[in-house]
Chains A and B, each alone.
Chain A
Amino acid sequence: MESGFVAREAWAFEAAYQAFKSALFGAAVGILADREDAEDAVHDVLARLWQRGHAYSTARGSLRAFLIACVRNEALSRRRKSSNRLRIEQTIRPEMVEPADESLADRDRIARALELLGEKQREAIRLSFEEGLPYAEIALRLNEPAGTIKSRLSNAVRTLRAHFAAQGETL
């Protein structure tokens, strides 16, 4: 499937969607809250990657992780656009998020991994992962230099990776 995806073959795109759809939709709905918006985001990402080409190569590793990253980015940019619009319209978006259907064990595992991070690292990751802020904005919020935040986010991801690898997570 990975090589078919690299060669931009239609069957590989559909197979990738079928294999990873819960993770892709979960990534989008975690950021966008609205299920319809989230489905649009997944749809548009796959359409764009297929039509305009993509940067995935086998050197990059997991196709699943690549697609999740693409969907997260699409969702983040949609959220930035809609929050701008909302600010202009001065309306409040109804809260439509539903709890993720991941198991308790999963959530516990992620929570424990996040506990490994120092408090400052955890806050930076939270602002990035949950609020989707670029590092310069995180720096403004936390009143720290941008370079410091860059290092902190980078170190946090690498700490998590080392932890998940030690736990034998499928990485």
Chain B
Amino acid sequence: MNDPRNEHLEEAAELYALGALPDAERTAAEAHIAHCGECARRVGQAEETVAVLVGPQAPSAQLDRRIHALFVRRGGGARAFYPLVAAALIIALLPGAFFWQRDRDLRASDAVNRQAVAAMIGSHFLHSQFVKVAPDAPPAKAIFARNGAWVYVIAVTDRDLTLNAGGRVLGKLSGTGNERAIFVEHPPATKSLVLSDGSRVLAHAAVALP
């Protein structure tokens, strides 16, 4: 069999909708449907036909409650991302330096990163790349909660850096090796974050912290 991703499902579309494919063929069909609109449509039509044959029956109120509990976040507020989605986003956002570090066990000094990851899992967040002002500015990125609850800044450098906003010092970045980070809760409202080495401004990032 050729790569099933390149072959249209043909008759397998109706069998897929009936649930008459063995697991391996089912998985292959799903991989194909994911990127073939034509087969997705054919499967959809077959699924609609099969659905007509299904007799409706009301479930108990108990199921209503269980389903409701699935989708309502305890403690209020909409859950922005499911943790796995958040984790995928975080990995996409972090600088390369994080990766070799991630492959080792997270060290005790990584409390900042862990705190940030926990915050990201729980909220909608945005990110912004720092723009260099000084030629020797390190690559850095800001990730911040849309509601302004926190900001997390990571820089790939071994130098001591300070994060400023609105003329205020928010704190010093900490870390080991080639990575420095800071996690700030309840930062002041600002449109710009500034990284400095104590005496000079090195880079700034446009943010929207309400």
Contacts and interface: CB of A to CB of B under 8 A. Distances in A.
Are A and B bound to each other? Answer: yes
Interface of A: 8, 10-11, 13-14, 17, 21-27, 29-30, 35, 38-39, 42-43, 46-47, 50-52, 55, 57, 59-62, 64-66, 68-69, 72-73, 76, 98, 100-102, 106-107, 110, 113, 125, 128-129, 132-136, 138, 150-151, 153-154, 156-158, 160-161, 164, 169, 171
Interface in B19-46: 19-22, 26, 30, 33-34, 37, 40-41, 43-46
A106 B68 CA distance: 30
A17 B58 CA distance: 12
B184 to A, nearest CB: 29
Contacts of B70: 13-14, 43, 46-47, 50
Interface string B133-159: 000000000000000000000000000
A43 B40 contact: no
A43 B71 CA distance: 11
B57 A66 contact: no
A22 B66 CA distance: 15
B131 interface: no
Contact of B59 (A25, A50, A52): A25
A101 B67 CA distance: 22
B167 interface: no
A73 B45 contact: no
Contact of A150 (B12, B17, B67, B73): B12
Nearest to A11: B71
Nearest to B59: A25
Nearest to A138: B20
A135 B22 CA distance: 8
Interface stretch (B77-85, B102-110, B200-208): B77-85
A39 B63 contact: yes
Contacts of A14: 67-68, 70-72
Contacts of A135: 15, 20-21
